[in-house]
Amino acid sequence: MKERQRRTKILATLGPATDAPGVLDTLFKAGVNVVRLNFSHGDPSGQAKRAAEVRAAAARVGAEVGILADLPGPKIRIERFAEGKIKLTMGERFDLVADANAPAGDQHQVGVSYLGLPQDVTAGDVLLLDDGLVQLQVTDVQGERIVTKVLNDGVLSDRKGLNKQGGGLSLGALTERDKELIGIVAKIGVDFIAVSFCRNAQDMHDARQIAQQHGCDAQLVSKIERTEAIENLVEIVEASDVVMVARGDLGVEIGDAELPGLQKKIIRESLAQNKVVITATQMLQSMVESPIPTRAEVLDVANAVIDGTDAVMLSAETAAGAYPVRAVEAMARICLGAEHQFEFDTDFEAAQRNLQRADQAIAMATMFLSEHIGLGGVVALTESGGTPRFLSRFRSNMPIYAFTRHDGARRQMAMMRGVFPISFDSRGLTPREAARAAIRLLVENERMGPGDRVVFTSGEHMEMHGATNTLRLLEVGEDGRATGLGEL
């Protein structure tokens, strides 16, 4: 019996905990599909070294692993304190100073990185520091000085993040540093670029234009983590290749109570627009220090899978945690269990409303067949990954084997739920010859066996992007060869 394959993909953030020799190989064997390079930490040369090590490790273990570069974005932070940290008491005054030359912070004030903050706040606004652990209420704005009242006791240390409750900060998504980094990650050859704190579609268009100027064809990931992004969700998803539910800053701005519903809304909108979606932030946070997850974390990951996410992400758990490999193994087990216990009902009527091209119609017909006649899998010959992406949107239980000769396309498909990219060069083969060769490869790798039925999709001109127009129903014979049952 063929072993069930996990369909939900796993992202792992790299950091000091993954730098030891052999750790990447073990992570990839444990199930990591995409790695995240967090450019908010470390220097570009160090991240470039990690990217090279990822490519080498993936080649050693025979895995298709994508690389995601996460841009820092305009994260607002307080500056440093003279003593490293202070303790604030509820009710006392504490000032934020928007001055590049502000002195080191003390018990009474600290500088902020965003010099436009005084123009974005008024008396009564609540500012949330360190993911909401410290809350300040604005009482007055005096030029570059923001006077606040401390709303709760708490400890504040260097460079903690700052958010405005309810959103409303005017700074753009792409800083000058981000623009420089896009050029750097283009040279590194990453597969995805994540735009932090995007507000609207224009932020994504700007990032895409800069990437194209550098000859970079990485897919763009919009990180939904601002109130403004929720208000402009439909247009942001449309302008993105991939969407990330970035629950950290989003939860701080909108409040914890709103977060579960918004996670479902973002995933639902992404699926409706045929976009890949990632769920991220603190999914197995306790495993930074613990060898096992909490039951609440197990349910959180499982619910994201049931919501329909393509991928789940680990941050500090793998980057700086004590148990990076165990965290990946736990994530893989939870995803597989959730997939086994919950099946999606494909809404073909809704899918029909989004049909725009022949290859999408072929994809829908393929999944309709898989729902009604029982298949061992779907085989798609693809140039860009477009057909497997659309097939994946149906959330069928059928594995989708995506065959392509393009390295970049395979690594980008590594993010798609239920899609298993395979290196395959169909040049010089007819569609029928390619079908037989692909099935033979699956049989040799024990992913298919005698009696399995499979739907095979391709284009008559197999080297053209978006040219899928053929569907074949095949069956694997006792000799491992594919025989035709029908063609559309």
List, by residue number, the catalytic residues: 36, 77, 223, 281
H or E stretch including 219?
strand 219-224
| Sign of the four-CA dihedral 128, 131, 132, 135 | negative
Residues contacting residue 28 through CB under 8 Å, at least 6 positions apart:
57, 58, 61, 63, 65
How many whole angstroms separate alpha carbon 53 and alpha carbon 14?
A: 11
Q: Is 335 helix (H, G, I), strand (E, B) or coil?
A: helix
Q: 153 vs 90, 106, 308, 336, CA distance in Å?
A: 5, 16, 39, 42
**Is the distance from CB of 99 to CB of 144 less than 8 angstroms?**
yes
How many whole angstroms separate alpha carbon 33 and alpha carbon 413?
A: 10
Q: Which of 310, 250, 249 is nearest to 279 (CA)?
A: 310
**Is the distance from CB of 95 to CB of 171 less than 8 angstroms?**
no
How many whole angstroms separate alpha carbon 386 and alpha carbon 245?
A: 22
Task: Please list the alpha-helical segments (H only) found in 40-147.
Answer: 44-61, 117-120
Q: Which of 352, 304, 338 is nearest to 6 (CA)?
A: 338
Q: Which of 421, 462, 461, 459 is nearest to 441 (CA)?
A: 421
Q: At what angle do helices 23-30 and 44-61 cross, to 10 degrees?
A: 60
Distance of CA 191 to the CA centre of its chain: 12
Rounded to 5 degrees, what angle do the CA atoms 246, 249, 251 make? Answer: 85
Residue 422, φ and ψ in degrees, nearest 5: -135, 135
How many whole angstroms separate alpha carbon 11 and alpha carbon 68?
A: 9
